[in-house]
Amino acid sequence: MSTEKPSFDDLLDQLIADDTDGLLDTPEKPKPITATDRLERAFLEIVDFRREHDRLPSPETLEISERKLGARLVGFLNDEAKADLVRHLDEFDLLTLPEAPTSVDELFESDIDVLDLLEDGNDIYDFTGMEELQHEPDEFDVAQRKKAEDFEKFKPFFELKHQQLETGELKLGKFSGVSTIKQGRFFVLGGVMLYVAEVGETEYVKNGDRKVPKERLRVIFENGTESSMYRQSLAGRLGEKAGLALQGTSHSEFTTEELGDNFMPDGYIYVLKSLSTNPDIAQLRDLYKIGFSHGSVQKRIAHAETQPTYLMAPVEVVAEYAVKDIRASKLEHLLHRVFSDVRLDIVMNDGDGQPFKPSEWFIVPLDVIDQAIPMVINGDIVDFEYVPELQKLRYIGES
């Protein structure tokens, strides 16, 4: 009895039927990666960076991986078509630009860089060339900075800070937010040290359909330039560029221990100008009173014309500095020490005809006082002396 051999087709069918594990299944061909896929992956890396670091990547940092992401984001912002392809992934509104100003006045009241509006920039920020980012001058800095005509009076500050960094009295720490930007503070932006010389009054600037509070600064850079940017703008730049703050490590700043148990939680250093008609006083140029008040300065001087400490005449408030956690006697001692050679030497009669010698009036230019007070607050004044002949502060610390 003969048996018929199964055909090849029968054997193949049987083999396929027995393949319960799918070993003979044809694998699915991988879907080709499209240009859109590559864009989405590239943008998601930017989103991941924003989520992890709580800030945008900078295209100017020395950290290569972040620099690539920063350049990549600039590429998206400069190419609307590419931005539209990934907008559905933009959970942090990275691709949302500020609303354009509707007038010239609104433009100059905003933080928008006028040069950015005039610059095409497509050849600089071409997305396809992001691997070979070319570093261009910072248009924001070019537009906003100008030469500081009085830089010489700030130069010693920067020299002192660099010296304190070298000796370890100061250290560089991470910038910790807009609330830390105060008069007298030093920061490092893009490798350049800057000094917050002035903080202006709060302005309410229109932003879309609402007004937001902002304060103009006078920022002095160690390269001899200055800027009048808003406090919020400086905070943004420090955040974008991984800016640093100069921080005290020991005796470079006052502490509550140094100030003792009687330090004041709040107070004001004030600078007054006399409105006296007394010829002996009226003829004195650059005569100012420097003092400290726990409360309102205006209330303190309300009856100045009856008090010998105010030279028995009305006064004008020309400067006022809010301070915290500083003992009044410490402030007054440091201020009076540095200006002791130009203290007013005069004896006044009080309302009862009794002789009185005021002790807080000094003959010194107001701009020098403006320099000295932030240094008194942070303690740097101990390394300076006032030179009346030059009408400037001179560094006398260790060289």
Domains of the chain, residue spans: 35-132, 149-240, 256-395
Q: Which residues contact 127 (CB under 8 A, 6 or more apart)?
A: 72, 75, 76, 78, 79, 82
In the numeric block, which tokens belong to residue 398? 């260790």
Say whether pTM exceeds 0.85: no
Q: H helices of the chain, where?
A: 8-18, 35-53, 64-77, 80-86, 104-109, 114-118, 139-144, 155-167, 231-240, 256-259, 279-282, 297-300, 328-338, 366-378
Residue found by looking up tokens 């609330």 in the block: 179
Burial (CB count <10 Å: 0-12, 13-18, 19+), residue 94: buried
Distance CA 373, CA 338 (A): 11
- DSSP character at residue 379: T
Distance CA 323, CA 329 (A): 13
Q: What pLDDT sits at residue 182?
A: 85
Condensed to tens digits (0 to 9), the pLDDT of residues 142-186 reads 336 788 888 888 888 888 888 888 877 788 888 877 778 888 889
Q: How many CB atoms lie within 10 A of CB 151?
A: 16
Distance CA 74, CA 355 (A): 71
Q: What pLDDT sits at residue 294?
A: 76
Condensed to tens digits (0 to 9), the pLDDT of residues 207-231 reads 666 777 778 888 999 999 998 888 8
The residues with which 189 forms a beta bridge, in sequence order, are 192
